[in-house]
Homo-oligomer: A and B are copies of this chain.
């Protein structure tokens, strides 16, 4: 995970094993709640404390490294900052996936209707994922 070490270093944020563990965990799972992250990291890093996870999530969010995904009906999940994108969440299994959707038109419409200077767009679609549909 060389790439993350450098990304962190370039941003007045020290590279600690705890931080790398968080980043690597997210790099694998993509979307996890605080508690999920903590439990997962404890397996490889039993001494980590929950406070450290909180502090680091907050620090990395302040630096723009990480973003909160406010999922309807469940706890917030966190992801490493990537290109802007939308999310799809399965109402059955809770899984969250990224999806690249074109929100240009919708954003234009909104700007015209509200006169807002629109800066951010957060779209979360929910439904039943193919796996859960098959299973039921």
Contacts and interface: CB of A to CB of B under 8 A. Distances in A.
Interface in A59-74: 68, 70-72
B105 A88 contact: no
A44 B70 CA distance: 33
Contacts of A97: 114
Interface residues of A, number: 38
B120 A110 contact: no
A130 B68 CA distance: 27
Contacts of A71: 70
Interface stretch (A19-27, A28-36, A46-54, A121-129): A121-129
A96 B106 CA distance: 18
Contacts of A124: 121-123
A88 B101 contact: no
Given A70-B72, A117-B133, A125 B110 contact: yes
A2 interface: no
